Amino acid sequence: MPKRASRVNQTLTNYAQGLGQDRRSALADFIAPPVTTGVASGQFKRFSDKNAFQVCETDRAVGGPARRIEFDADDPTFNCRPQALEIGIDDHERELAGEVDPLGLEQAKVDTVVTNAALSHEFKVFGLIAAGVSAVGAKGVWSDPDVDPIAELDEQIEAIAVATGMMPNRMVFGIGAWRVFRNHPKVIARQPGAAQIGISTDQGAKMLLNPGIEIRVGVLSRDTKKFGAAKNAVNIVGAEVYLFYGSQSPTTYDPSFAKTFTSDPARCRLRSWTPGVRPRGVHRTSPLAPASPFRPLPCPRPQPQTYCRRP
């Protein structure tokens, strides 16, 4: 629908943005945080990993020139593709709702749109990352009581720190992986009283090589069956654990593992219009989460184009 045929509903836009901020269980922005580019497409600097590991000779003669640091970089492009969802309000729905709370009906519809948008974005981001980054071999068999999950995670934290020069500061558990981790006998043995009260994410973090790491648990699920078939809900993150570095203030240049480029800092604008045919009164969010690459991987490019950075 062209912009001239619709109008921005600021009241519902504010409501939709508030809903989006309340979707605490969504982890797409945690693992691939949004970065505002201000434009829909363009170029950005991609610096080589070797830049951060060069040891330079800093001595100079009195009055002599400083040694110039060399940088290896290229200029890939990004393209923020448009994203949108819409939902309709039939005239009869308005009649059923009556005049008591007409805004409540619209807010309920917006809630549905925002919820579906968050779920769809989560699925796309984790799907792309799972396709582009292979799991570490022979690790994570935590069903074995003799395997120490803490020792394995510490080993990977050290490996990433050595490979990147940065301590990984974030970790995502699928809810199934978190259940196995917190109930593992070797994890419980490290935390006195855990057998009776369980282990929180903060307590789990403090047992690791980086005790300040932030742990999030993915709880969102999707239905693998379409309408008309019996529901089959599966956890989006799955039985996976993602260990990575993420900047608190991501930019187009920082070395975060993954990020999502967006041309619009609001990321959600709700437009309303009345089509010329029934059903009438459609609400649409546009754009929901336009995104584009940060660091390409040899993997498919489903939307959104969130690209992840290998250590």
pLDDT digits (tens, 9 = 90+) for 40-89: 888 877 767 676 677 878 888 888 888 887 777 778 888 888 888 888 88
Whether pLDDT at 241 is above 80: yes
CATH number for the domain running over 1-49+74-134+252-311: 3.30.2400
- Per-residue confidence band for 147, with pLDDT thresholds at 50, 70 and 90: very high
Could you write out the three-class secondary structure of the chain?
CCHHHCEECHHHHHHHHHHHHHCCCCCHHHHCCEEECCCCEEECCEECHHHHHCCCCCCCCCCCCCCCCCCCEECCEEECCCCCEEEECCHHHHHHHCCCCHHHHHHHHHHHHHHHHHHHHHHHHHHHHHHHCCCCCCCCCCCCCCCCHHHHHHHHHHHHHHHHCCCCCEEEEEHHHHHHHHCCHHHHHHCCCHHHHCCCHHHHHHCCCCCCCEEEEECCEEECCCCCCCCCEEECCCCCEEEECCCCCCCCCCCCCEEEEECCCCCCCEEEECCCCCCCCEEEECCCCCCCCCCCCCCCCCCCCCEECCC
- Residue 280 near residue 92, CB atoms below 8 Å: no
Supply the pTM of this predicted model. 0.76
Q: CB of 12 within 8 A of CB of 106?
A: yes
The residue type of 305 is Q
Q: Is 180 exposed, middle or buried (0-12, 13-18, 19+ CB in 10 A)?
A: middle
What pLDDT, on the 0 to 100 scale, is given for residue 110?
A: 81
What whole-number percentage of the chain has pLDDT above 70? 76
Residue 305 has pLDDT above 50, yes or no: no
Higher-pLDDT residue of 311, 29: 29
**What is the average pLDDT across 9-31?**
65
Q: Say what the pLDDT of residue 279 is.
A: 42
**Has residue 229 got a pLDDT over 90?**
yes
Report the pLDDT averaged over residues 128-151.
93
Nearest alpha carbon to residue 117 among 289, 263, 302, 250: 289
**Res. 310: pLDDT tops 60:** no
Question: For strand 85-88 and strand 282-285, is the pairing parallel, antiparallel, or unpaired?
Answer: antiparallel
Question: Mean pLDDT over residues 218-236, rounded?
Answer: 91
Outline which parts of the chain fall under CATH 3.30.2400: 1-49+74-134+252-311
Residue with tokens 């948008």: 117
Average pLDDT over residues 213-223: 93
Look at residue 208 in the predicted model and tell me its pLDDT: 97
Angle at 195 between CA 192 and CA 198, to 5 degrees: 90
> Please, what is the average pLDDT of the chain?
78
- Range with the poorest average pLDDT among 82-96, 160-174, 283-297: 283-297
Question: For residue 294, what pLDDT is reported?
Answer: 28
